[in-house]
């Protein structure tokens, strides 16, 4: 007879994988209910987007946001299930954003299959996104208990912030690379906090809120989530230029190829050193060869743009740690948060 | 010296005009605040959509939904301002729907100027709509007082219903005109209630709810709003075929030209009389001449489709009256509701 060993996590990585798996398992029934309520046509398209018919467990995503919500509830001593409406709501709005963003950006692939707009049309993508947006509020207000309304108010404010950040990001593409109208480092950081940080801040703060945490703890969890989002974005910006295509799945020098205004290049141009001036003539050129792109990447490093972005990522990682230190929580939960933060940053190395 | 006469309404029409003007004046500051919060780029596009820079007072719309919310609050004995968050929220989501619908339907004009997607692009239309959607919840939850959360829950459910109705409406275009897969009268009515009735039901029920009405009164106001929406939709369907272009601003025989499946034609086909059979061959034809369209309109009348739609409009108008009779309210408020209902129906005559 075999001995059944208790399931224990033998590393932080396994801790995180367990928390993430649990979040997916707990949240999915609520997401499926929400999608079922949309009637047969839209429910089918929703199931397609969430890839519920896929046999590939990686296809359904890492559920970072639900994981954060449930961990925050546990951190303040509640059962993770207390934060389930927040976990489901944040996953719904995250997917609403993905569906609309793919359409806006013309991205044809999502989770290894054609994006909703590509497969089912523009109308379906707009309407499915809109429906998931409403249903996130329906879940918080219908199943969120006494703190559901406060969590819904936080979600509404966060989603406004996300949209404003997205609009800023689009507007940045229309602005010049240099001069008074150039995008400043401060403007970029404000955009990134809104576009990426606000929803991670909602995940952690709403998780704590639904678990009965006091106001200052809730705000601390909001900061934690925002720092996580910014650490992620800084790392993503570094990977967008220097990432290994084999690891990131994105083309080499991708962000330079697309002419994106990301943190390393904005910081390099703002440094105002000789390399900055040489960089200006490259990024402003009508056409750029492969060797131009490689030279641009070198000049960004020379002007300190890469180091700046990496330092910013570390600064936000420190911000996460500071929040964790200031909050009393079980060691295992703290380790899970740290593993999640490291998994977002560790991608650069 | 001139004598200032008290401003009194000398007819139901003036009563309604006064209620509508008041709703616009009370609601607009909240709408402006909401749009201002979206940052300079999006706020400018929002102001364009709402036509706040227009000198034409008719350009800003009739504010039917805010008017209904404020009247419902007054009907249950509260100050209209008690329902202001509901009035602003419903106007925000109504405009969110218009902005996304114009994009989905490819409609290039809205309130006599290019639609948002046409003037400012697809991304701007999607993101502005999304932002207004979030802000409707922000207003209800932030300024809605003790019943704000219950009103927000009603809004979330209503908006899901609206989207499901829109999807059904689109799916109807893909279904055959006859046979088992044809759209039934019952399916059409369910779609119309979801697409048009649910948000009018929110306007009236949330107005009553925020004014402190009890649950059964709130449900009665929901029915009232839904009947209004359906009376409006039936009338709109009749006007879409037989309306006078000079009065409706739409092309003559417009819905037949576009091959839309509206109530008169669905009812005419379902009647299964000789005219129905002749109608089938016309609507199924690849190309249709002007005389085909005129003949189709005659056959729909002959098969009883017009009469059916007009009777349905009257039935829903009676539903409105029944709701009003069952609710105790000041005579002036009742007269305003009746004038509003008549203004929606009266357009056919």
Tens-digit pLDDT profile for residues A166-216:
999 999 999 999 999 999 999 999 999 999 999 999 999 999 999 999 999
Which CA distances in Å does A7 have to A15, A63, A332, B118? 11, 21, 14, 57
CB A199 within 8 A of CB A93: yes
Please tell me the predicted confidence (pLDDT) of residue B348.
42
User: Six-digit token pair at B334?
Assistant: 């009742």
- A190 token code pair: 């404000």
Which residue's structure tokens are 């408020």? B333
The reported pLDDT for the residue numbered B5 is: 42
Q: Distance between CA B68 and CA B96 in Å, rounded?
A: 19
pLDDT at A254: 82
Distance (Å, whole) CA B27 – CA B32: 9
As beta bridge partners, residue B114 has B109
Instruction: Report whether pLDDT(B51) > 50.
Output: yes
Q: Which residue has the higher pLDDT, B263 or B245?
A: B263
A134 touches chain B (CB under 8 A): yes
Do B125 and B115 meet the contact criterion of CB atoms below 8 Å apart? yes
pLDDT at position B12 is 81
Write down the pLDDT at residue B252: 79
The rounded distance, in Å, linking the Cα atoms of B297 and B305 is: 9
Do residues B184 and B167 touch, judged by C-beta distance below 8 A? no
Q: Which chain A residue has its CA at the smallest distance from B143's CA?
A: A153
Give the C-alpha separation, A179 to A277, whole Å: 12
Give per-residue pLDDT as tens, B173-189: 999 999 999 999 999 99
Residue A4 has pLDDT above 70, yes or no: no
Residue A328 sits at the chain B interface (C-beta within 8 Å): no
Q: What is the DSSP string of A258-308?
A: TT---HHHHHHHHH-SHHHHHHHHHHT-SS--HHHHHHHHHHHHHTTHHHH
Q: Tens digits of per-residue pLDDT, B316-328?
A: 999 999 999 999 9
Cα gap A228→A217, rounded to integer Å: 17
Q: Residues near B7 by Cβ (< 8 Å), separated by ≥ 6?
A: B18
Give the per-residue pLDDT at A7. Answer: 42
Give residues with Cβ within 8 angstroms of B177, minimum separation 6.
Answer: B261, B269, B280, B283, B284
In the 8-state DSSP scheme, what is residue B253? T
Across all residues in chain A, what is the average pLDDT?
92
Res. B8 pLDDT band, cuts 50 70 90 = very low
* DSSP annotation of B196: I
Give the CA distances from residue A255 to residues A90, A135, A280, A298, B215, in Å, rounded to whole numbers and listed in that order.
28, 34, 16, 14, 56
For range B165-170, the mean pLDDT? 95
Question: Are B217 and B76 contacting, i.e. CB atoms less than 8 angstroms apart?
Answer: yes
The more confidently predicted of residues B61 and A4 is B61
Inform me whether the C-beta atom of residue A294 falls under 8 Å from chain B C-beta atoms.
no
pTM summary value: 0.93
* pLDDT category of residue B347 using cuts at 50, 70 and 90: low
Residue B127: closest CA among A265, A170, A278, A69:
A170
**Which residues lie closer than 8 Å to B57 by C-beta, 6 or more apart?**
none
Backbone φ and ψ for B288, nearest 5 degrees, come out as -130, 130
| pLDDT of residue B16 exceeding 60 | yes
| Phi and psi angles of residue A7, each rounded to the nearest 5 degrees, phi first | -75, 105
pLDDT reading at A248 higher than 80:
no
Q: With cut-offs at 50, 70 and 90, classify the pLDDT of residue A348.
A: very low
What does the block give as tokens for A145? 């208990």
| CA–CA gap between residue A204 and residue A65 (Å, rounded) | 8
**Residue that has been written with the tokens 């890469």 in this structure:** A306
- Are A119 and A80 in contact by the 8 Å Cβ rule? The answer is no
pLDDT in tens, A87-97: 999 999 999 99
CA separation for the pair B71, B76 (Å, rounded): 9
Q: Which two tokens stand for residue B202?
A: 């929110």
Q: How far apart are the C-alpha atoms of A297 and B301, rounded to whole Å?
A: 72
Which phi and psi angles does A114 have, rounded to 5°?
-55, 135
Tell me if chain B has a CB within 8 Å of the CB of A33: no
Task: Decide if pLDDT at A106 tops 90.
Answer: yes
* Statement: residue A237 has pLDDT above 50: yes
With 90 as the cut, is the pLDDT of residue B143 above it? yes
Instruction: Please tell me the predicted confidence (pLDDT) of residue A347.
Output: 57
CB < 8 Å to A169, chain B: none
Q: Which helix (H) or strand (E) holds B23?
A: helix B12-36
Distance of alpha carbon B197 from alpha carbon B222, whole angstroms: 9
Alpha carbon distance B325, B338 (integer Å) = 11
Whether residue B134 and residue A163 make contact (CB cut-off 8 A), yes or no, is yes
CA distance B208 to chain A (A): 19
Question: Which whole number is the average pLDDT over A327-348?
Answer: 88
Q: What is the pLDDT of residue B245?
A: 82
Beta bridge partners of B113: B110
**Is some CB atom of chain B closer than 8 A to the CB atom of A110?**
no
Give dist(CA B319, CA B325) in Å, integer.
10
Over A36-73, what HEC string results?
HCCHHHHHHHHHHHHCCCCCCHHHHCCCHHHHHHHHHH
Give chain B positions within 8 Å (CB) of A149: 141, 148-149, 152
pLDDT classification of B57: cutoffs 50, 70, 90: low
Q: Which residue of B has its CA nearest to A145?
A: B149
Percent of chain B with pLDDT over 70: 95
Q: Is residue A18 scored above 60 in pLDDT?
A: yes
Between B1 and B279, whose confidence is greater?
Answer: B279
Residue with tokens 């419903």: B90
What ranges in chain A are assigned the alpha helix state H? 12-36, 39-50, 64-75, 84-105, 116-120, 122-143, 148-172, 185-192, 198-210, 215-242, 245-248, 254-257, 263-271, 274-283, 290-302, 305-326, 331-345
Q: Which residues of B touch A135 (CB under 8 A)?
A: 156, 160
What is the rounded distance in angstroms from the CA atom of residue B161 to the CA atom of residue B195? 7
Is 70 exceeded by the pLDDT of residue B7?
Answer: no
Beta pairing partners, A109: A114
Output phi, psi for A183, to 5 deg: -70, 125
| B121 touching chain A per CB within 8 A | no
Facing A127 at nearest CB: one of B127, B156, B163 = B163
What pLDDT sits at residue B6?
A: 42
> What's the confidence (pLDDT) of residue A349?
41
- Residue B113, classed as helix, strand or coil, is strand
Please give the ipTM for the structure prediction. Answer: 0.93
- Count Cβ–Cβ pairs < 8 Å, chain A vs chain B: 127
Instruction: Give the Cα separation of A205 and B205 in Å (integer).
Output: 32
Give the number of C-alpha atoms closer than 13 A to the C-alpha of residue A145, restricted to the C-beta side: 13
Would you call A126 and B122 a contact, using CB atoms and an 8 Å cutoff? no
At residue B254 the predicted structure's pLDDT band, cuts being 50, 70 and 90, is confident
Q: Which of A88, A91, A95 is nearest to A143 (CA)?
A: A88
The Cβ of residue B81 has, within 10 Å, a number of other Cβ atoms equal to 13
For chain B, give the percent of residues with pLDDT over 90: 82
| Residue A277 structure tokens | 């001036």
pLDDT given at position B1 = 42
Residues 6+ apart with CB under 8 A from B120: B45, B48, B128
Tell whether the model's pLDDT for residue B102 goes beyond 50.
yes
Residue A41 pLDDT level (bands cut at 50, 70, 90): very high
Average pLDDT over residues A114-142: 97
pLDDT interval class at A67 (50, 70, 90): very high
Lowest mean pLDDT among A195-204, A272-281, B249-258, B261-270: B249-258
> What does the alpha-carbon distance between residue A83 and residue A213 come to, in Å, rounded to a whole number?
11
Q: How many CB atoms lie within 10 A of CB A338?
A: 17
Nearest one of A53, A161, A62, A175 to A113, comparing CA atoms:
A53
Closest CA to B135 of A149, A163, A140, A244: A163
For testing contact with chain A, the best of B96, B161, B164, B165 (most A CBs within 10 A): B164
Whether the Cβ atoms of residue B144 and residue B85 lie closer than 8 Å to each other: yes
Place of tokens 């519920």: A52
> Which member of A124, A127, A156 has the closest CB to residue B141?
A156
Burial (0-12, 13-18, 19+ Cβ within 10 Å), A204:
buried
pLDDT value at residue B219: 98
Give the separation between CA B283 and CA B292, rounded to whole angstroms. 9
Distance CA A54, CA A33 (A): 18
pLDDT digits (tens, 9 = 90+) for B116-129: 999 999 999 999 99
Q: Residues B297-314: what's their mean pLDDT?
A: 97
């Amino acid at each position: 007879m075999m001995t059944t060993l208790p399931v224990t996590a033998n590393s932080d990585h396994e801790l995180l994988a367990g928390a993430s798996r649990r979040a997916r398992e707990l949240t999915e029934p609520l997401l499926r209910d929400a999608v079922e309520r949309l009637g047969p046509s839209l429910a089918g398209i929703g199931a397609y987007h969430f890839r519920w018919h896929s046999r590939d467990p990686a296809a359904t995503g890492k559920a970072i946001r639900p994981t954060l919500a449930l961990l925050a509830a546990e951190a303040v001593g509640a059962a993770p299930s207390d934060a389930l409406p927040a976990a489901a709501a944040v996953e719904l709005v995250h997917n609403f954003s993905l569906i609309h963003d793919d359409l806006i950006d013309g991205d044809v692939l999502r989770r290894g299959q054609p994006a909703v707009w590509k497969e089912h049309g523009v109308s379906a993508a707009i309407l499915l996104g809109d429906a998931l947006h409403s249903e996130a509020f329906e879940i918080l207000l219908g199943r969120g208990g006494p703190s559901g309304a406060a969590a819904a108010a936080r979600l509404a404010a966060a989603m406004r912030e996300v949209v404003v950040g997205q609009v800023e990001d689009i507007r940045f593409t229309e602005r010049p690379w240099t001069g008074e109208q150039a995008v400043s480092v401060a403007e970029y950081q404000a955009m990134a906090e809104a576009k990426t940080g606000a929803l991670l801040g909602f995940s952690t703060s709403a998780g704590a809120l639904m678990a009965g945490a006091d106001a200052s703890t809730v705000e601390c969890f909001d900061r934690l989530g925002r720092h996580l989002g910014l650490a992620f974005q800084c790392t993503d910006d570094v990977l967008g230029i220097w990432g290994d295509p084999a690891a990131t799945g994105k083309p080499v020098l991708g962000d330079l190829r697309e002419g994106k205004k990301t943190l390393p290049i904005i910081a390099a141009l703002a440094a105002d050193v000789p390399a900055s001036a040489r960089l200006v003539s490259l990024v402003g050129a009508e056409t750029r060869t492969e060797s131009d792109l490689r030279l641009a990447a070198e000049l960004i490093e020379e002007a300190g743009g890469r180091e700046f972005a990496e330092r910013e990522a570390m600064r936000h990682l420190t911000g996460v740690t500071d929040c964790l230190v200031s909050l009393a929580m079980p060691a295992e939960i703290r380790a899970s948060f740290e593993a999640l933060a490291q998994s977002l940053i560790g991608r650069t190395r």
